[in-house]
Amino acid sequence: MANTPKLSRRSALMGAAALPLAAATATATRAAAPMLGVTQSNFRRVKVGSFEVTTLLAGTRPVENPHKIFGLNVDEETFNSVSADAGLSTAAAQFFFTPTLVNNGSELVLFDTGLSGAATVQAIEAAGYTADQVDKVVITHMHGDHIGGISTDGTPTFANAAYITGATEFDGWSGSGNENFDGKIVPLADQFTMLDDGGSPASGITAMAAFGHTPGHMAYMVEDGGTQLVIGADFANHYVWSLAHPDWEVRFDMDKAAAAATRKTMLDMMATDRTAFIGYHMPWPGIGYVERNGEGGYRYAAHSYQLML
């Protein structure tokens, strides 16, 4: 076997020498196909029991100098070495923005709305739905990349939807003078229903307090037929820098100690129960599992086919 490649290569070289013109022409023709750039789909649908759960890619972009965002409490050398071990660039990180649709058989529920209505609706339509079919919009927290798509030019993007969010989250932003909250949420405030830890926005879905990233940040447990999936929103925002090192501070976590404590509690639960989760900023399509890495942290295991069966 060891000799085979060598022999093939020699005969290939001899063949090429014997047919110089034809070979050169053929190669040149093949090289003319244009470079098309990297690409990806903008929706992914899986099953949780009888429920259908669809992640929607509402946006993605590179962000420079990720150490300015992740690992604020560790030095450059530590950040660089953890990143190198994981094969990650320290010059830029690719960000993803991933709302989720859950169809529980009686209602179509959208979790978060992306940066803008247009991109989110485009992904919803690619996935086979229309914006008008959305029965409920659940907002996990009030950051602009989660509420931006709730209205488009001042008009509600999801014309038939009821709105639901955490009471603590809503109260935490009310009267704070935040431009995004005042522009996107306040005009719809009368139509919002508030819930607390353990509340249910729809059948088979339960709110889980996951405070820290924002004052009342909520995750949601989706459960049917003995299968569980956590819509984790922003409890952890990078698959290495937040999972391997839940203590690493993140610029966007408003209460850094509470956010780290929430990360550890949720990661421990999901690793123990082998619960699937969707992370709003995990690598597209945003669905994965949590494993212990043996060093006190966790490892992200991207979903393969578990939720297709």
* Minimum distance from residue 34 beta carbon to Zn ion (Å): 35
Distances from the Cα of 181 to the Cαs of 86, 116, 152, 184, 292, in angstroms?
36, 14, 14, 5, 37
Question: With respect to Zn ion, which residue has the nearer C-beta, 78 or 180?
Answer: 180
Site for Zn ion in 144-163 (CB under 5 A): 145
* Minimum distance from residue 37 beta carbon to Zn ion (Å): 25
* Minimum distance from residue 237 beta carbon to Zn ion (Å): 7
Question: With respect to Zn ion, which residue has the nearer C-beta, 224 or 234?
Answer: 234
* Minimum distance from residue 232 beta carbon to Zn ion (Å): 11
* Minimum distance from residue 227 beta carbon to Zn ion (Å): 26
* Minimum distance from residue 143 beta carbon to Zn ion (Å): 5
* Minimum distance from residue 231 beta carbon to Zn ion (Å): 13
Question: With respect to Zn ion, which residue has the nearer C-beta, 49 or 212?
Answer: 212
Stretch that binds Zn ion, among 42-50, 140-148, 269-277, 297-305 (CB under 5 A): 140-148
Site for Zn ion in 34-63 (CB under 5 A): none
Stretch that binds Zn ion, among 108-116, 129-137, 143-151, 191-199 (CB under 5 A): 143-151
Question: With respect to Zn ion, which residue has the nearer C-beta, 99 or 201?
Answer: 99
Residue 109 token pair: 């529920």
Stretch that binds Zn ion, among 88-96, 139-147, 161-169, 253-261 (CB under 5 A): 139-147
d(CA 58, CA 61): 11
User: What is the pairing mode between strands 276-279 and 227-233?
Assistant: parallel
Question: With respect to Zn ion, which residue has the nearer C-beta, 51 or 170?
Answer: 170
Question: With respect to Zn ion, which residue has the nearer C-beta, 15 or 144?
Answer: 144
Site for Zn ion in 224-253 (CB under 5 A): 234
| Residues that contact Zn ion, how many (by CB under 5 A) | 2
* Minimum distance from residue 107 beta carbon to Zn ion (Å): 24
Question: With respect to Zn ion, which residue has the nearer C-beta, 59 or 71?
Answer: 59
DSSP string, the chain: -TTHHHHHHHHHHHHHHH-HHHHHHHHHHHTTSPP------SEEEEEETTEEEEEE--EEEEEE-GGGTB-TTS-HHHHHHHHHHTT--SSEEEEEE--EEEE-SS-EEEE---S-HHHHHHHHHHTT--GGG--EEEES---HHHHGGGEETTEESSTT-EEEEEHHHHHHHTTS--HHHHHHTGGGGGGEEEE-TT--SBTTEEEEE-TTSSTT-EEEEEEETTEEEEEEETS---TTTTTT-TTS-BTT-SSHHHHHHHHHHHHHHHHHHT-EEEETTSSTT-EEEEEE-SSSSEEEEE--SGGG-
Question: With respect to Zn ion, which residue has the nearer C-beta, 145 or 224?
Answer: 145
Residue in 217, 299, 298 with CA at minimum distance from that of residue 209: 217
The residues of the shown chain that bind Zn ion, judged by CB under 5 A, are 145, 234
